[in-house]
Chain A
Amino acid sequence: MSTKAEPVPGRRAKRFAPAGGGRARQDLLAAAAFLGPFIILALIFQYGPLLLMVKDSFYDYTLITPDLKTFVGFDNFVRIFTDQGTVKSLIITLLLSVGVVILTIPLAFLLAMFLNGKLPARGFVRTMVFLPVITSSVVVATLWTFLLNANGLINSALGSVGISQQPFLTSGTQALPAIIVLTVWQQLGMATVLYLGGLQSLPSELMEAATIDGASPRQRFRYITIPLMSRTTVLVVVVITVFALQSFAPAYIMTGGAPNGTTNTLVYLIYQTAFTLQQPGYASAISLLLLVIALAISLVQMRLLRTRWDY
């Protein structure tokens, strides 16, 4: 088109011309070229599996002979809530998430307060706490397998203060709490960094004004810091929950879901159901449930963060 060769003033004139001149069309073409690859890949590898998952959850088949499919309607979904193993796995995954959140939030908050003060080794502490965040779940689970072993470091430490050997991963009552603790260890750095960002963006004028008005440190903490940190808390809760909901490596590496299914997290159950039991249809239905839970949490977060939390 002639617009391409037009001198600069012409282009400017075109932009102010009414309704879709050459510029608008050019922009549209450019947008398509710039966005196209991303959109195509997202359609294939994000939306593709999503649709496939919804479809598969209505069928019964194996991965070996995927063409021999039987339509089973809502059977797979009914099975989720009637199969005791699956219900137990769902409860365990939720317990894991709740446990991790309850422990991480106060610890991360205190740690962030601690790091926000004048501390000589601040950078060093932050680096240390953040190490598990950049360490793979596989290495974390491997390391903790040995830490928690009968001959491991933790039992040795307990022994030196006179506490008898604990079974940890082989005990029905201790295995899940142990996995909760290692997940907290793994995510504490992330939560702390998020809180630290929140604390550093606190308006200092507010603190000064409160101090001048005679508010005690305790009052400033209770009536300024905590309320202003509520947005950050919503964020941290969601990040940690979604991470814990997808817990897989501890079950795969440390326990195999044992003892007695007490560490059988949903993602491990999905993996076993699809690839060991060869029931990808049922596994898809469970995946869909996991997805709905994660989406619901994200939507609640968006809602909570959209409301203005002014103080």
Chain B
Amino acid sequence: MTVSTARPSSAQTSTGAPLPAGAPQRRVRQVGRILTTLLILAVIVAAFLGPYVWMFASGLKTQASIFTDVVPISWRTFIPVHATIDNVTELFADRGIGRALLNSALVAVGQVLGALAVCCPAAYALTRIKFPGRNVIFAFILATFMLPSEALAVPLFQLVGTLGLQDTLVGVGIPWIANAFGLFLLRQAFEGVPHELDEAARLDGAGHLRIFWSVILPNIRADLVTFVLTIFLFSWNGFLWPLIAIQTPEKQLVQVAIAQSVSPGELPNWGLSFAGASIATIPLLVLFVFLQRLLIPGLARSGLK
């Protein structure tokens, strides 16, 4: 079955077409295939879109109507009939979610700029400058790629404390600026720029800085966007490290703020939690829906650790 859905059978139709006897049977099979496709689509929509729609809708409902709308499942479950923005207002007015969003944005932007400033030149050196020990240095960076970041959290906490960066937004962002994944992404992009271009520039008397800035960077704009989006996403979505690194409530990042509104054991306010989760997710969803062509390759390669 899977094969026939994946490879629409051009071979079958071409061999089957001249035989009239096969036609009804083929139509039955075609109808079956369409039904299977629709069924799979329905399951995917229910499993992947359903929870998001429920989350967004419930963020605009009161606690009471969330519960009355969920059993039995109907269109009311997914559409806020008497929509209220009380949850959103409370999050901004009393729960400091605006501040948390700002903190997250500051850290993410800082991390993106820092990573750009550090990774781009490093990728240039690794692809365009010949020097002894290049492979050793590359291996040295490659190794950090394999360290699971969550495993480093405890010593990093102490280290950041020693550097006097504990409980600061700088301390949240700075450890991830020398990003091995980002370097790999850019290294691949740099390799894609033909060497003839910089040879030509060099003959014209351009130095490394000039070639880097005026020859390579303008040629990898799309990859730079992928890089920026991916780093931004990782920073925005990070949880364990911001949870540990920040103690002052005013400096909290948005993911931590949401997590603490649903801590186990407490009776959460569903509407507030849904609204908070929605607010933290919607910017990324918008970004993703419009720029997925640039974002997916980056994320897919981030898996190549």
Query: How far is it, in angstroms, between the C-alpha of A130 and the C-alpha of B288 when the chains are bound?
Result: 9
Is the pair A294, B151 in contact by a Cβ cutoff of 8 Å? Answer: yes
* B208: chain A residues within 8 A (beta carbon): 27, 30, 34
Contact B48 A254 (CB under 8 A): no
Interface centre among A37, A146, A157 (most CB of B within 10 A): A146
Given A137-B239, A156-B70, A114–B118 Cβ distance below 8 Å?
no
Closest to B229 in A: A134
Given contacts A30-B125, A35-B137, A38-B183, contact A113 B2 (CB under 8 A): yes
Within 8 A of B (CB), among A26-75: 27-28, 30-31, 33-35, 37-39, 41-42, 44-50, 52-53, 56, 63, 66
B239 A136 Cβ-Cβ under 8 A: yes
Say whether B7 contacts A142, CB under 8 Å: no
Q: A117-B7, A159-B71, A271-B153 are in contact. Are A136 and B237 (CB under 8 A)?
A: yes
Query: Shortest distance in angstroms between B118's beta carbon and chain A's nearest beta carbon?
Result: 5
Does B31 sit within 8 A of A, measured CB to CB?
Answer: no
Contacts of A56 in B (CB 8 A): 154-155, 158
Which residue in A38, A114, A143, A249 is a CB contact (below 8 Å) of B51? A143
Q: Which residues of B contact A53 (CB under 8 A)?
A: 151-152, 154-155
- A274 CA / B243 CA spacing, docked (Å): 13
In the complex, A147 Cα to B277 Cα: how many Å? Answer: 14
> In the complex, which residues of chain A have a beta carbon less than 8 angstroms from the beta carbon of B130?
27
Query: Which of A79-87, A97-105, A216-224 interfaces with chain B?
Result: A216-224
Task: Mark each residue of chain B from 121 to 142: 1 if its CB lies under 8 Å from any CB of chain A, else 0.
Answer: 1101110011110100100110
Main secondary structure of the interface of A (DSSP, over half): helix
Q: What is the CA–CA distance of A130 and B237 in the complex, to the nearest angstrom?
A: 15
Q: Mark B42-71, 1 if CB is under 8 A from A, else 0.
A: 001101111110110010000000010011
B304 at interface by CB-CB < 8 Å: yes
For the complex, count residues of B whose C-beta is within 8 A of A.
Answer: 111
**B299 engages A190 (CB within 8 Å):** yes
Cross-chain contact A50 with B155 (CB below 8 angstroms) = yes
Instruction: Report the minimum CB–CB distance from A138 to chain B (whole Å).
Output: 4
Chain B neighbourhood of A116, CB < 8 A: 6
Is A125's beta carbon under 8 Å from chain B?
Answer: yes
Whether B11 is near chain A, meaning CB under 8 Å from some CB there, is yes
Q: How far, in whole Å, are A283 and B208 apart by their CA atoms in the complex? A: 46
Partner of B178, one of A38, A193, A207, A211: A38
Interface flags, A159-172, vs B, CB<8A=1, else 0 = 11000000000000
Asked if A45 contacts B178 (CB within 8 A), the reply is: yes
Decide: A284 and B148 in contact? CB cutoff 8 A. no
Is A303 an interface position by the 8 A CB rule? no
B240 at the interface (CB under 8 A from A): yes
Q: Which residues of A contact B8 (CB under 8 A)?
A: 117-118
- Report Cα–Cα, A144/B40, bound state, in Å: 22
Q: Which residues of A contact B149 (CB under 8 A)?
A: 246
Q: Which residues of A contact B (CB under 8 A)?
A: 8, 11-12, 24, 27-28, 30-31, 33-35, 37-39, 41-42, 44-50, 52-53, 56, 63, 66, 110, 113-114, 116-119, 121, 125, 127-139, 141-147, 151-153, 156-157, 159-160, 185, 190, 193-194, 197, 207, 211, 217-218, 220-221, 235-236, 238-239, 242, 245-246, 248-249, 252-256, 258, 267, 270-271, 274-275, 280, 283-284, 287-288, 290-291, 294-295, 298
Apart from A53-B151, A113-B2, list 4 A-B contacts with CB within 8 A: A38-B118, A45-B177, A135-B281, A235-B303
- Nearest first, the 3 A-B pairs at minimum CB distance are A41-B178, A136-B237, A34-B125
